[in-house]
């Protein structure tokens, strides 16, 4: 299936090798023709035998003669059945080499490229090509021999019948032939649109949860919606052209019946016998109409599908041999360059209110059901841009729930959340944050595609490598073969998937990054490196749901969640003030006699204090209504949080 000329029109690129293929097998083609004559020879008898049976037998009062002719027709059917068996064998002899040739090419390519995925996909296409080709050989051959048999029969019965049946048949076939090319183009456009949509849905559907978590809904919805629209347009166009196929069938197959009936008196007056008229009707209804119908449906649908599949296989073959100008494989990349300076500053989504806090949570209350106890209650929290916050607390206390509320995945019962000044939920807020959950989402495709998933623009390779270096993905990136290497998500460990997802978040323009145990599969050193990278991300604000206390130590601020009581401060402050935090850290620190946190600006929303502030030895404060408590000055940038009134 090579050749055809790289610059030849697409149809020729398929047609020429196809004709050459048939030419090389002219003996098989001849054999197929011979058996087809036998198979469809009975077509001649379909009309001729009943006509003779009527005219020379039953209508002439010679029942025996009539029965003999019917017997001849019966023998014709038996001989035709034998011919059909031999036809199948001949078709197999023609089709199997095609399959073998296509598969050989595909396997050669797969072995050369070590691309098992492409191999199985293309092998499947070769099977489709084989089946479709076999179907086409059957219907087109059947139509040709059936038409010849029927037309010869009609001529033998009465030349006038040939005119009445042959003219509309010719017109129908001509119309059908004229629609073939436009139909094939539309069929191909539809298949391409269908595949594009299926590919998109295959990538999107398994990762819906993570797409939502990462705030990429709109981006994904846009891309998917475009493909749905494209398929709809392609399907509508194909449907319009398919109507012409039905018209051609009506003209070529059904109009002759109408004409035979309508002109019957005139035909009988002009020497056509009753038997010949019945024979002509038998030709049309028993042979021509079914054969034309098979041809129209078979060639119209399968034919264009075959063209698409073979064209694809041919294109891959020519690309593999370098025959198509400009389509030779790109040279495989060497190991990626390491190092590279980090971008000076990640661009922020435009339209953020100036000086807006990166995160602002007000009176936030949420419960999983109307009767359920609130998981988050009257929480206040404000984070200035650049803050690195760790969220800690016992298991099941509500840390993930809080990140989901901030990301807009859950709707609060009360209170509000703003990200970069934009209300949550909302498209602007969604564009300003990225949430990486524990289960990292990696889709099939290249590493570069995976890493640039949250970026509307292509990510320059230098920036990509710099991000990979910062987050700790570089060793994996080198092992996989660089940014353009294809990733098989199932072949990655959980930690490796997390590194991919983390680098993707790092590359996004979202100023606020929420890591919900997103580093839980990394070792402590890798986790530290990653968190530091995010903390140093220019202009970035980081919220980490920590599963190791080392994460909290690294953070500027720590939020200790403890049901209705919540504490907030630096690590040192909380070590002094929060028994729970000390428990979590695993080291008990005596309660200081001095207030852990200095009283601050009374105008600020507040809710944080320590045992010293409460003065009652309790480790968590956050018991006063918002506005009645005061935040320490040193939390002004990080902002306060609230507890229950
Ligand atoms: N979809 C849900 N429906 C009902 N209850 C839920 C749902 N998701 C979480 N919860 C409950 O809400 C509470 C808080 O869960 P959440 O996952 O936010 O805790 P967490 O602090 O992140 O826990 P962990 O540290 O174990 O991940 C838990 O009691 C949990 O059982």
Task: Confirm whether 47 is domain-assigned.
Answer: yes
Centre of ligand 1 from the C-alpha of residue 468, in Å? 32
Task: Confirm whether 4 is domain-assigned.
Answer: no
Phi and psi torsions of 453, nearest 5°? -55, -35
Measure the CA–CA gap between 118 and 578, rounded to whole angstroms: 57
**Among the atoms of ligand 1, which is closest to the Cα of residue 517?**
27
Task: Confirm whether 471 is domain-assigned.
Answer: no
Beta bridge partners of 543: 389, 514
Mark whether 26 and 78 lie in a shared domain: yes
Measure the CA–CA gap between 67 and 50, rounded to whole angstroms: 9
Q: Is 437 in the pocket of ligand 1 (CB under 6 A)?
A: no
By alpha-carbon position, which residue is closest to atom 9 of ligand 1? 401
- Only one residue has tokens 């020879």, namely 41
By alpha-carbon position, which residue is closest to atom 30 of ligand 1? 396
Centre of ligand 1 from the C-alpha of residue 372, in Å? 12
| HEC string for 105-156 | HHHHHHHHHCCHHHHHHHHHHHHHHHHHHHHHHHHHHHHHHHHHHHHHHHHH
Task: Confirm whether 92 is domain-assigned.
Answer: yes
397, 367, 406, 419: which is closest to 515 by C-alpha? Answer: 406
Measure the CA–CA gap between 404 and 381, rounded to whole angstroms: 15
364-391 tens-digit pLDDT: 999 988 888 889 998 999 998 889 999 9
Centre of ligand 1 from the C-alpha of residue 401, in Å? 6
Q: Is 350 in the pocket of ligand 1 (CB under 6 A)?
A: no
Mark whether 359 and 316 lie in a shared domain: no
Measure the CA–CA gap between 518 and 533, rounded to whole angstroms: 14
Q: Report the SS3 class of residue 447.
A: helix
Q: Is 40 in the pocket of ligand 1 (CB under 6 A)?
A: no
Measure the CA–CA gap between 129 and 110, rounded to whole angstroms: 18
By alpha-carbon position, which residue is closest to atom 23 of ligand 1? 396
Mark whether 133 and 220 lie in a shared domain: yes
Centre of ligand 1 from the C-alpha of residue 374, in Å? 11
Mark whether 272 and 315 lie in a shared domain: yes
Q: Is 587 in the pocket of ligand 1 (CB under 6 A)?
A: no
Beta bridge partners of 513: 434, 542
Q: Is 395 in the pocket of ligand 1 (CB under 6 A)?
A: yes
By alpha-carbon position, which residue is closest to atom 29 of ligand 1? 396
Q: Do residues 259 and 168 make contact, with C-beta atoms less than 8 angstroms apart? A: yes
Q: Is 621 in the pocket of ligand 1 (CB under 6 A)?
A: no
pLDDT value, residue 66: 95
Task: Confirm whether 553 is domain-assigned.
Answer: no
Mark whether 299 and 402 lie in a shared domain: no
Mark whether 277 and 387 lie in a shared domain: no
Six token digits for residue 508: 């996004």
Measure the CA–CA gap between 124 and 127, rounded to whole angstroms: 5
Six token digits for residue 431: 């564009």
What 8-state DSSP symbol labels residue 374? P
pLDDT value, residue 593: 41
Measure the CA–CA gap between 156 and 148, rounded to whole angstroms: 12
Q: Is 266 in the pocket of ligand 1 (CB under 6 A)?
A: no
Measure the CA–CA gap between 107 and 99, rounded to whole angstroms: 12
Peptide bond preceding 425: is omega within 30 degrees of 0, i.e. cis?
A: yes
Centre of ligand 1 from the C-alpha of residue 407, in Å? 16
CATH number at residue 93: 1.20.1560.10
The last residue of a domain, from among 296, 320, 344: 320
The last residue of a domain, from among 305, 320, 335: 320
Mark whether 126 and 30 lie in a shared domain: yes
Residue 642 φ/ψ region, left for φ over 0, alpha for ψ in the -120 to 50 degree band, beta for the rest: beta
Mark whether 295 and 368 lie in a shared domain: no
pLDDT value, residue 334: 29
* DSSP string across 606-627: -----HHHHTSS-S----SPTT
All residue ranges of the chain with pLDDT < 70 are 1-15, 17, 105-124, 209-210, 213-215, 300-301, 304-305, 308, 311-354, 587-645
Q: Do residues 581 and 596 make contact, with C-beta atoms less than 8 angstroms apart? A: no
By alpha-carbon position, which residue is closest to atom 1 of ligand 1? 368
Phi and psi torsions of 378, nearest 5°? 45, 50
Q: Do residues 451 and 222 make contact, with C-beta atoms less than 8 angstroms apart? A: no
Characterize the bridge pairing of strands 512-516 and 422-424: unpaired
**Among the atoms of ligand 1, which is closest to the Cα of residue 561?**
21
Q: What is the ipTM of this complex?
A: 0.97
Measure the CA–CA gap between 482 and 461, rounded to whole angstroms: 10
Six token digits for residue 534: 């995010």
Q: Is 400 in the pocket of ligand 1 (CB under 6 A)?
A: yes
**Residue 271 CB-half CA count within 13 A:** 5
Gyration radius from the chain CA atoms: 38
Q: Is 288 in the pocket of ligand 1 (CB under 6 A)?
A: no
Q: Do residues 641 and 564 make contact, with C-beta atoms less than 8 angstroms apart? A: no
Measure the CA–CA gap between 546 and 566, rounded to whole angstroms: 16
Distance set, CA 475 to CA 179, 468, 483 (Å): 56, 9, 12
- Only one residue has tokens 């509307």, namely 456
Cα three-residue angle 422-426-430, rounded to 5 degrees = 80
Long-range contacts of 4-9 (CB under 8 A, 24+ apart): 4/314, 4/318, 6/318, 6/323, 6/324, 6/325, 7/325
Residue 387 φ/ψ region, left for φ over 0, alpha for ψ in the -120 to 50 degree band, beta for the rest: beta
Task: Confirm whether 243 is domain-assigned.
Answer: yes
Measure the CA–CA gap between 219 and 122, rounded to whole angstroms: 30
Centre of ligand 1 from the C-alpha of residue 410, in Å? 12
Q: Is 368 in the pocket of ligand 1 (CB under 6 A)?
A: yes
The count of structural domains within the chain is 2
pLDDT value, residue 286: 92
Mark whether 81 and 199 lie in a shared domain: yes
Centre of ligand 1 from the C-alpha of residue 564, in Å? 15
pLDDT value, residue 255: 96
* DSSP string across 355-369: T--SEEEEEEEE-SS
Cα three-residue angle 465-467-473, rounded to 5 degrees = 80
**Biggest distance spanned by C-alpha atoms of the chain:** 129
Q: Do residues 501 and 516 make contact, with C-beta atoms less than 8 angstroms apart? A: no
Mark whether 380 and 283 lie in a shared domain: no
**Among the atoms of ligand 1, which is closest to the Cα of residue 369?**
4
CATH number at residue 607: 3.40.50
Give the torsion sign (CA, 466, 467, 471, 477).
Answer: negative
Domain region containing 575: 353-432+558-645
From 212, 372, 396, mutation site for ligand 1 pocket: most ligand atoms within 8 A of C-beta: 396
Mark whether 363 and 307 lie in a shared domain: no
Q: Is 393 in the pocket of ligand 1 (CB under 6 A)?
A: yes
Centre of ligand 1 from the C-alpha of residue 643, in Å? 19
Chain centre to alpha carbon of residue 382: 40
By alpha-carbon position, which residue is closest to atom 10 of ligand 1? 368
Measure the CA–CA gap between 242 and 296, rounded to whole angstroms: 10
By alpha-carbon position, which residue is closest to atom 25 of ligand 1? 395
Measure the CA–CA gap between 583 and 92, rounded to whole angstroms: 77
Task: Confirm whether 437 is domain-assigned.
Answer: no
Query: Buried b / exposed e across 291-328, counting CB within 10 Å, b at 16+?
Result: bbbbbbebbbbbbbbbbbbbbbbbbbbbbbeebbeeee
Mark whether 25 and 128 lie in a shared domain: yes
Task: Confirm whether 344 is domain-assigned.
Answer: no
Centre of ligand 1 from the C-alpha of residue 563, in Å? 12
* DSSP string across 523-578: -HHHHHHHHHHHHTSTT-EEEEE-SSHHHHHHSSEEEEEETTEEEEE-HHHHHHH-
Centre of ligand 1 from the C-alpha of residue 375, in Å? 8
From 213, 390, 401, mutation site for ligand 1 pocket: most ligand atoms within 8 A of C-beta: 401
Give the torsion sign (CA, 137, 139, 145, 148).
Answer: negative
Q: Is 439 in the pocket of ligand 1 (CB under 6 A)?
A: no
Centre of ligand 1 from the C-alpha of residue 581, in Å? 20
């Amino acid at each position: 299936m090579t050749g055809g000329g790289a610059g030849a029109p697409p149809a020729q690129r398929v047609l020429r090798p196809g004709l050459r293929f048939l030419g090389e097998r002219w003996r098989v083609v001849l054999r197929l023709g011979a058996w087809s004559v036998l198979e469809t020879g009975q077509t001649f008898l379909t009309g001729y035998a009943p006509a003779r049976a009527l005219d020379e037998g039953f209508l002439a009062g010679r029942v025996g003669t009539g029965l003999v002719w019917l017997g001849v027709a019966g023998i014709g059917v038996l001989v035709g059945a034998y011919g059909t068996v031999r036809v199948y064998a001949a078709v197999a002899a023609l089709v199997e080499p095609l399959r073998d040739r296509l598969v050989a090419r595909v396997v050669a390519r797969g072995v050369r490229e070590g691309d098992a995925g492409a191999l199985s996909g293309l092998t499947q296409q070769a099977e489709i090509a084989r089946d479709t080709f076999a179907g086409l050989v059957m219907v087109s051959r059947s139509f040709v021999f059936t038409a010849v048999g029927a037309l010869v029969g009609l001529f033998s019965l009465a030349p006038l019948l040939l005119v009445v049946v042959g003219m509309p048949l010719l017109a129908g076939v001509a119309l059908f032939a004229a629609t073939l090319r436009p139909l094939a183009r539309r069929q191909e456009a539809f298949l391409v649109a269908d595949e594009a949509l299926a590919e998109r849905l295959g990538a999107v559907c398994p990762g819906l949860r993570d797409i939502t978590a990462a705030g990429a809904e709109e981006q994904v919805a846009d891309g998917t919606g475009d493909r749905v629209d494209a398929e709809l347009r392609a399907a509508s166009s194909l449907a319009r052209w398919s109507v012409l196929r039905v018209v051609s069938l009506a003209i070529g197959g059904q109009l002759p019946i109408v004409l035979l009936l309508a002109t019957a008196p005139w035909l009988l007056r002009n020497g056509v016998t009753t038997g010949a008229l019945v024979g002509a009707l038998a030709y049309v209804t028993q042979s021509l109409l079914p054969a034309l119908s098979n041809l129209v449906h078979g060639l119209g649908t399968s034919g264009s599908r075959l063209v698409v599949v073979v064209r694809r296989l041919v294109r891959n073959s020519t690309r593999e041999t370098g025959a198509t100008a400009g389509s030779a494989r790109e040279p495989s990349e060497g190991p990626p360059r390491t190092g590279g300076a980090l971008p000076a500053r990640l661009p922020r989504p435009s339209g953020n209110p100036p000086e807006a806090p990166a995160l602002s949570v007000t009176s936030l209350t949420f419960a999983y059901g109307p009767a359920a106890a609130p998981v988050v209650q009257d929480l206040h929290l404000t984070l200035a841009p650049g803050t690195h916050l760790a969220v800690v607390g016992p298991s099941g206390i509500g840390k993930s729930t809080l990140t989901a509320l901030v990301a807009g995945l859950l709707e609060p019962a009360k209170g509000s959340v703003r990200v970069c000044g934009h209300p949550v939920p909302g498209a602007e807020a969604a564009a300003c944050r990225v949430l990486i959950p524990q289960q990292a989402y990696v889709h099939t495709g290249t590493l570069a595609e995976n890493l640039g998933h949250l970026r509307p623009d292509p990510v320059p390779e230098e920036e990509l490598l710099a991000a990979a270096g910062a987050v700790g993905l570089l060793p994996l990136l080198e092992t996989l073969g660089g940014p353009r290497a294809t990733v098989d998500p199932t072949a990655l460990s959980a930690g490796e998937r997390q590194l991919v997802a983390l680098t993707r978040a790092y590359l996004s323009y979202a100023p606020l990054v929420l890591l919900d145990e997103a580093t839980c599969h990394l070792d402590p050193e890798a986790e530290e490196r990653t968190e530091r990278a995010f903390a140093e991300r220019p202009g970035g604000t980081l919220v980490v749901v920590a599963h190791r206390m080392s994460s909290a130590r690294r953070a500027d601020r720590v939020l200790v969640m403890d049901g209705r009581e919540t504490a907030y401060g630096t690590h040192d402050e909380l070590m002094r003030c929060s028994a729970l935090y000390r428990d979590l850290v695993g080291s008990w620190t005596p309660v200081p006699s001095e207030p852990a946190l200095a009283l601050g600006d009374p105008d600020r929303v507040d809710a944080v204090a320590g045992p010293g502030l409460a003065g009652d030895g309790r480790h968590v404060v956050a018991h006063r209504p918002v506005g009645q408590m005061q935040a320490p000055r040193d939390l002004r940038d990080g902002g306060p949080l609230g507890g229950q009134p």
